[in-house]
Amino acid sequence: MNRLASLSKLDRTAWILMLVHVMATVFASMAFATILSGPPPAWMQQEPNKTIYEIGWKVSGPSVVCLGFLAALLHAIGRFGKTRALKMFAYASIVSLSAELLGTSTGYPFGGYSYTNLLGYRIAELVPFPIPISWTFMLYCSLAMVGLLAKADDSNGGRWRWALYAGIVLSAWDVAMDPAMVVTTHWYWHEPGFFYGMPFTNWLGWIGTGAVVAR
């Protein structure tokens, strides 16, 4: 608590948002485990519990993503300045959205897949709005993790190496997330693959796209 109090207002807000994000993620994970274990118990199918459950199901995913994105953005502003941070996050969101639009339209580079309406408004009726910003804040976190493990190198080769490492870290996140999101019908694969329905091309697409965005 003393350390939190010593931070700047911007960093303190970022830490609080990230804490709420983590708590919401833990709660959502517990909810996922409950849902995957079978149909809701009888008391959850009665009002007002049923309505609360349905609203929570619709808003929890986008809310968790937005909290993480805002936390990462504020942290980046504190480290790199407002202009540079906004440019970084805008670039990452645009490139990742482009990759997702390409993927949902053509099947490249991830494999053929489609989103349902559970994640909210879909851009061009294809990609839910939380998807590109989730790419952005998770890549920011992935780069931070790489910074703890790899030596800093500002050369062109060093930057690409860091970007590749970040893409690999990011893909590890998707390995855990994708099966749960498919089972809960947030999206589906046109031709299910070998790993809980996920095709191998999805891993390559995540690593490649993550590296390009991180670079």
Long-range pairs, 84-87, Cβ under 8 A, ≥24: none
Domain boundary assignment for the chain: 2-214
Per-position pLDDT tens, the chain of length 215: 556 566 788 888 888 888 888 888 787 777 666 666 667 677 777 788 778 777 777 777 888 899 999 999 999 999 999 999 999 999 999 999 999 999 999 999 999 999 998 888 999 999 999 999 999 999 999 999 998 888 877 788 888 898 999 999 999 888 888 988 888 888 999 998 888 889 999 999 999 999 998 87
Q: Is 2 left (phi over 0), alpha (psi -120 to 50) or beta?
A: alpha
- Cα 180 to Cα 161: distance, rounded to the nearest angstrom: 30
Reduced to 3 states (helix: H, G, I; strand: E, B; else coil), residue 123 is strand
Q: What is the value of pTM for the model shown?
A: 0.84
pLDDT in the model for residue 93:
95
